[in-house]
Amino acid sequence: MFAASNSQKSLSRWLFYAYILLILVFTLGPLVIVTILAFNNNPSASFPWQGFTLDWFKSSTPDRVGLFDDARMMAAVVSSVKVAVAVTLISVILGVNNAFLFVREKFVGKEFLYMLMLGPLVVPGVVLGTSILAFSHGIANALDSALGNGAGTFLRPGFWLVVLGQVSFVATTTTLVITARLKRFDLSLEEAAMDLGATRSAAVLHVTLRFLGPAIFGAAIIAFLFSFENFNTTYFLSGPDPTVPIILYSRLRFGISPEINAVSVLMMVTTGLLGLAASAFQKEEGLA
């Protein structure tokens, strides 16, 4: 009886280890392969291994154009960074204001408004992108008709429409992160600051927002990553200056090149560094 019980425990343990191994293989395996191929001296972007090279990152020869010498790809990187920075700033500002609205204020329809805010998180990105495109197109046409040609340009596919489209769902995420932190704030600290002579604005700025600092920083990291890597919504809203995911998609239709692997490695490194920065900041603040 005890032997059978030990045998079952041993089998369960091996099944558990096998399950964990499968998860690691399916999640980390593709990333490891892409990283290896990014440094493989094989122009077909596949195995076998033909030696180490950095050509896919830095090379300007006609048959080997590296990532940092590809003008179109670097323009896409710059475009992605610009969009991500704008989306991050707007989303964090909205997130802070929304957090105070939902935590501090009491008004009719508060729960309904909160549920409405969560809508973009459950709507597929494709649906969100096409809906925003159709809506903005109608408003842009109306503005052009009422105010003259060019009045609705900012609502045409391009930088600002991509920013608005991404903010529609990224701001929801920043709101959730900052709201969760604000709910833990001891309001008596703010009241104590005002009792000592600080104005309400000064108390919020120096006490409450300081307390929210780690959440704001974490929300900013999340917003930047969500924006930089977004494809579904951005695809329908981008204009003449596409972002990195759009460029990758357009090139993948003609096959995988070593440069695409190099771009993937760059994005993984960027994501990892930002994640480590957020983790280190939270540990320093005693939140991890």
Cα 284 to Cα 218: distance, rounded to the nearest angstrom: 13
* Strand, helix or coil for residue 217: helix
pLDDT value at 63 more than 90: no
pLDDT of residue 91: 97
C-beta separation of 45 from 261 below 8 A: yes
Nearest to 182 by CA among 209, 206, 221: 209
Structure tokens at 65: 């154009």
* Residue 17 covered by a domain: no
pLDDT of residue 78: 94
Nearest to 96 by CA among 174, 170, 206: 174
pLDDT of residue 283: 67
* Residue 50 covered by a domain: no
C-beta separation of 52 from 39 below 8 A: yes
* Residue 26 covered by a domain: no
* Residue 181 covered by a domain: yes
CATH number at residue 222: 1.10.3720.10
List the beta bridge partners of residue 89.
none
* Residue 274 covered by a domain: no
Domain that holds residue 158: 71-255
* Residue 39 covered by a domain: no
Q: Number of structural domains, the chain? A: 1
pLDDT band, residue 177 (cuts 50/70/90): very high
Cα 142 to Cα 234: distance, rounded to the nearest angstrom: 23
* Residue 206 covered by a domain: yes
pLDDT digit string (tens) for 215-267? 999 999 999 999 999 999 999 999 888 999 999 998 888 777 888 889 989 88
pLDDT digit string (tens) for 186-218? 888 888 888 888 888 888 888 999 999 889 999
* Residue 286 covered by a domain: no
Q: Which residue has the higher pLDDT, 3 or 66?
A: 66
Cα 65 to Cα 205: distance, rounded to the nearest angstrom: 50
pLDDT value at 271 more than 70: yes
pLDDT band, residue 288 (cuts 50/70/90): very low
Alpha helices in the chain (DSSP H): 2-38, 71-104, 110-117, 119-122, 125-147, 159-182, 187-195, 200-203, 209-229, 232-237, 244-252, 258-284
